[in-house]
Amino acid sequence: MASQPNANYYTIVNQKRAEFKKMDLSVRSNYKALKQFERWAYIWKERINSDGTFPRANQVLSVNQMLQLLSPSIAPSRSVSFSCNSTWTQIGPVDNPAQNGYTIYPGKGRINVVAVDPNNRRIMYAGSAAGGVWKTIDGGTSWAPMSDMLAGLGVSDILIDSSNSNIIYIATGDPDGEHIPSIGVFKSINGGLNWSPTGLTFTLDEQEYIRDIAFAPGSVTKILL
């Protein structure tokens, strides 16, 4: 549909989502088709023209053209290369946990986001797909769960207030796998020990998802989704 003349992103998305609503998504092939479509929709939503039309070939800039716009001093024929002599060391985990009865994707869990305390780099928070927020205060040597009391244990993004790093915001849910719906954006004022709902909340049966959150430019109280 997208390759047809005068194709429109919004028309396609609305039509396909309406079709999927009529399908039995408990059928694996239908659910896989939905996942593939939503991935396509996510990729294209930031690349379409403002009216929903798709960019034409003559609207797409080459890498050299983009470099010229960003830095006119870079000649189109100039190649830029980088080298790095640093090495990476695996810090774990290296064990292979039991399947726990989930035979489709056995193994370790999936981490959606890691946030580092801007005032103490030994303090980090990890948001998991279905295991909540975890915190380390020793640079990753040990971790503790911080959100087991919440109704939804998916975490898609974490924000830390740079002026007071005890203030943390989390976006709940797991939009990638869609196993855990969002219950909204939550806030902690004591480094993750306790969490309170903000002005944006959902119930699990509303099936809402939040992918990313960010502070508005120049603000640590206004959050953009």
pTM above 0.85, yes or no: no
Percent of the chain whose pLDDT exceeds 90: 52
- Is the separation of the CB atoms in 123 and 135 below 8 Å? yes
What pLDDT shows up at residue 38? Answer: 93
- Per-residue pLDDT reduced to its tens digit, 171-204: 999 988 777 899 999 999 999 999 999 999 998 8
Average pLDDT score over residue span 19-25: 93
Does residue 142 have a pLDDT over 70? yes
pLDDT, position 179: 76
What confidence tier does 7 reach under pLDDT thresholds 50, 70, 90?
very high
Tens of pLDDT, residue by residue over 148-177, are 988 878 999 999 999 999 999 999 999 887
Q: What is the pLDDT of residue 36?
A: 92
Query: Lowest mean pLDDT: which of 34-48, 79-93, 169-183?
Result: 79-93
pLDDT of residue 214: 94
Residues of the chain with CATH 2.130.10.10: 109-225
pLDDT at residue number 58: 64
Residue whose structure tokens are 């039995």: 24
Residues 52-77 pLDDT 10s:
998 876 666 665 666 666 665 555 55
Lowest mean pLDDT among 3-17, 53-67, 81-95, 181-195: 53-67
Give the per-residue pLDDT at 200. 94
Residue type, 130: A
Most confident stretch, 80-89, 103-112, 173-182, 210-219: 210-219
Q: What's residue 87's pLDDT?
A: 86
**How high is the pLDDT of residue 196?**
94
Q: What is the pLDDT of residue 132?
A: 93
Asked whether 152 and 205 are in contact (CB, 8 A), the reply is no
Contacts of 127 (CB under 8 A, 6+ apart): 111, 112, 113, 114, 115, 133, 155, 156, 157, 158, 170
- CATH T-level topology, domain 109-225: Methylamine Dehydrogenase; Chain H (2.130.10)
Q: What is the mean pLDDT of the segment spanning 72-84? A: 59
Q: What is the mean pLDDT of residues 71-93?
A: 67
